Amino acid sequence: MASGPKYLIAPDPDRAGLTRLTDGLDHMGEPQSLSVVEERPLTIFLNGQEIVTAMTIGDYPQYLALGFLRNQGMLLDGDDVTGIDYDAELDTVVVRTAQVTNHEDKLKKKTRTSGCAVGTVFGDMMEGLEGLTLPKTQVRTSWLYDLSSQINQTPSLYLQAGAIHGTVLCQENRPLVYMEDVGRHNAVDKVAGWMWSEGVNGDDKILYTTGRLTSEMVIKTALMGIPVLASRSGFTAWGVDIAREVGLTLIGRMRGQRFMCLSGADRLIWDADLTAVPSEDRKHRRKGSQG
């Protein structure tokens, strides 16, 4: 477990099976060994229906399955989850409910690769935004700088090997649950699965991601009931449009003393002392940053 902030769940970059050493040649033709992230398929079932195969690093498969089904609208508040069975040899997770839901056929079998351009079905997710109201929780800018500093210094696969995304559930200036995966969507689904299994609501939470602020990231954050989404990376236009439509505070390009808020600025309390915040050179990039 990582040192530093007292996470409820933190990255464990030394955990067996998440990375492996691979030999290669550097730019000078010299032999080097490089730590690379492992990825493996995980097939998710809802009761007897095969739903999706996702490429993942393999940690927290139960949270990933539960969060994916939840964010996809295939598990609802009234559904009684009676079991989550993971088979490591078959790379499968079966989520079982007390009664067969009417959502098993919503998503036909679809393989999601680790490529970030591959999304899930938007229709079902957009339906969940109808009538959604996010809480008007206030957010201090000093919390954002504290969170950025703590998260950026936390030992992680993101720092060790790259080719991975992180998503962190936060409360005020405290990072709580830090999940990583080869796809940013998987990382946020793991957080969603943990929240649902633990009965944690998003009213007073902030979601921090290392990935781009796309439409799907905005939709998933809103469906989780979290009013604030922040990232070191940038925005897509559709992501901004949806954030404004649902009233989500959207903050990107958080580097050093700088950030941009393109939606929901009414939640911000501008209390940070910028003279106490270290600046960041334009050329500075954290090892493994995938933007």
In the chain, which ranges are E strands? 19-25, 31-37, 40-46, 49-56, 81-87, 92-97, 110-112, 139-140, 165-171, 174-181, 205-209, 228-231, 249-255, 258-263, 268-269
| Choice among 39-43, 163-167, 169-173, 220-224 with the minimum mean pLDDT | 163-167
In degrees and rounded to multiples of 5, residue 50 shows phi and psi of -70, 125
- Look at 163 and 12; give whichever has higher pLDDT: 12
* 102: confidence class by pLDDT, cuts 50, 70, 90: low
pTM, full prediction: 0.88
- In the structure encoding, which two tokens stand for residue 106, read together? 């919503």
- Name, of 47-51, 200-204, 281-285, the range with top average pLDDT: 200-204
pLDDT average, residue stretch 113-119: 42
CA distance 123 to 126: 5
The percent of residues above 90 in pLDDT, for the chain, comes to 70
Which domains can be identified in the chain, with CATH numbers?
A: 139-276 (3.40.140.10)
pLDDT in tens, 208-217: 999 999 999 9
- Look at 268 and 14; give whichever has higher pLDDT: 268
pLDDT in tens, 128-155: 788 889 999 999 999 999 999 999 999 9
> Exposure pattern of 220-250 as b/e (b: 16+ CB <10 Å)?
bbbbbbbbbbbbbbebbeebbebbeebbbbb
Burial zone of 50 (CB within 10 Å; 0-12 exposed, 13-18 middle, 19+ buried): middle
Q: Write the DSSP symbol of residue 267.
A: G
